[in-house]
Amino acid sequence: MKLHQISVFLENQPGRLTKPCDALANAGINILTLSLADTQNFGILRIIVEDWEKAFKVLEKSGAVVKITEVVAVKVPDRSGGFAGILHVLERSGINIDYMYAFTTNRGGNSILILRFDKADEAIEILRQSGIGIVDKISMFAR
């Protein structure tokens, strides 16, 4: 199961992050997790929210360039070596991670990682076979 990630183009300048975040706040949309990738020139804000369709509309209306990408959220045991184990599985199968970001929850001793693959379905299959938990409902993010 894949999650819908929202990406927003930003110029790398002070104050640019505020606008999309304000737009979401005003619409009562809570950001579950996010990551900000930046270059000298521009940045890309990536967000996970519960109601991605609404968030997409809100952000587009605010004038932002928005894109929806499917990402995979995996459960990582919150102990040393937890993440390395997942990487080994992926490495063996030759699947490339485009980018990733993480956040911790204290539910059941797991962290959650958001991973962007170019072959998401294949990756999910391999992770499943290796017994790695996939977060398949956005509600599981709720703390």
Q: Which residues bind another protein (CB under 8 A)?
A: 5, 7, 9-11, 16, 37, 39, 41-42, 44, 46, 60-61, 63-67, 69, 98-99, 116
* Least separation in angstroms between CB 114 and another protein: 12
Cβ-based nearer residue to another protein, 7 or 110: 7
Q: Give the 3-state secondary structure of residue 64.
A: coil
* Least separation in angstroms between CB 54 and another protein: 16
Contact 57, 119 (CB under 8 A): no
Cβ-based nearer residue to another protein, 39 or 106: 39
Q: Quote the tokens at residue 113.
A: 């990682």
Closest CA to 29 of 44, 49, 9, 7: 49
* Least separation in angstroms between CB 122 and another protein: 18
Helix extents (H) in the chain: 18-26, 52-61, 82-93, 120-129
